Amino acid sequence: MKNFPFSTKQHRYIMNLTFHYIGGFHMVIPKYPEVPHLMKKQIEEITEIAFLKESTPQQCDAIFVFGGSHPGNWQTPLHAYQQGLGAQIIVTGGTSLHGMKHPNWNYGELSESEVIVNKLIEHGVPEDAIIFEKNSLHSIANVIEAKKIFDFTTINSLLFVCKSLGAGRQYRVLKKHLPKHITCIPYTFDTSFDGDFIINRYNWMENEKSRSIIFGEYLRNVCYGRKGGIEPPEKEIEGLEKYVVYYQHLA
């Protein structure tokens, strides 16, 4: 797209691209896309798409854990299990495509799921309450590989664990790739990108980097939905169409 309103600084993103492989194609969306001026209504709509609507956790037939190296990836499902929100835990995650690990990661070459499982067992979750896979490299593969080890047609509800800022995208992954009758309920944890500012649905607009991260999540939800990798949002946000078109054309 010619004359797209990017600054010189924005073009440096090529050094820090996030590659997402979805069902045979890849999308290239920068980790920190430049954010246009956003109206109040647009902010509210982005929040709901990225974080989902606020909801109360409830008991489900199983707990699904998306892969990741953040301590929240094992602490959160542990808490859910201890609260009686699910009797079976499905853990996913090999090594992510970008290869980056949380600063507290000191588990060498172990897969993300192996670390999560070890931590759950260490903290009292029975081994027979956990099943896991360690081959997936991204969130869609988390679900696809999980389907090889668990029969999702046997359940009606699923509590899924992930970062709060990615809840919308992970929800749409599940809705795209699992049986349609399953109710998917988020059970999330907030994260920090620099060890200090913790991003949540209420404060993401207060920081330049967090604005960029959440705007990037909006772009992924819409672009991946358009490409068919995930269930698309119910509607796209008016006034942001040219940004979506630009990034979609990078695929």
Give pLDDT tens digits for 166-196: 999 999 999 999 999 999 999 999 998 777 7
* Average pLDDT of the segment spanning 51-72: 96
Output the furthest CA–CA distance in the chain (Å, rounded). Answer: 58
In this model, does residue 47 exceed pLDDT 90?
Answer: yes
Confidence of residue 29 (pLDDT cuts 50, 70, 90): confident
Tokens in use for 66?
A: 């998306």
Rounded to two decimals, what is the model's pTM? 0.88
Domain ranges of the chain: 62-190
Confidence of residue 231 (pLDDT cuts 50, 70, 90): very high
- The gap between the terminal CA atoms of the chain, to the nearest Å, is 13
Confidence of residue 117 (pLDDT cuts 50, 70, 90): very high
What type of residue sits at position 180? Answer: K
- State residue 104's pLDDT score: 78
In this model, does residue 26 exceed pLDDT 60?
Answer: no
Pair 76, 161: CB distance under 8 Å: yes
Q: Residue 183: beta bridge partners?
A: 157
**Class of the 62-190 domain?**
alpha beta
- Left if phi > 0, otherwise alpha if psi is -120 to 50, otherwise beta: which for 195? left
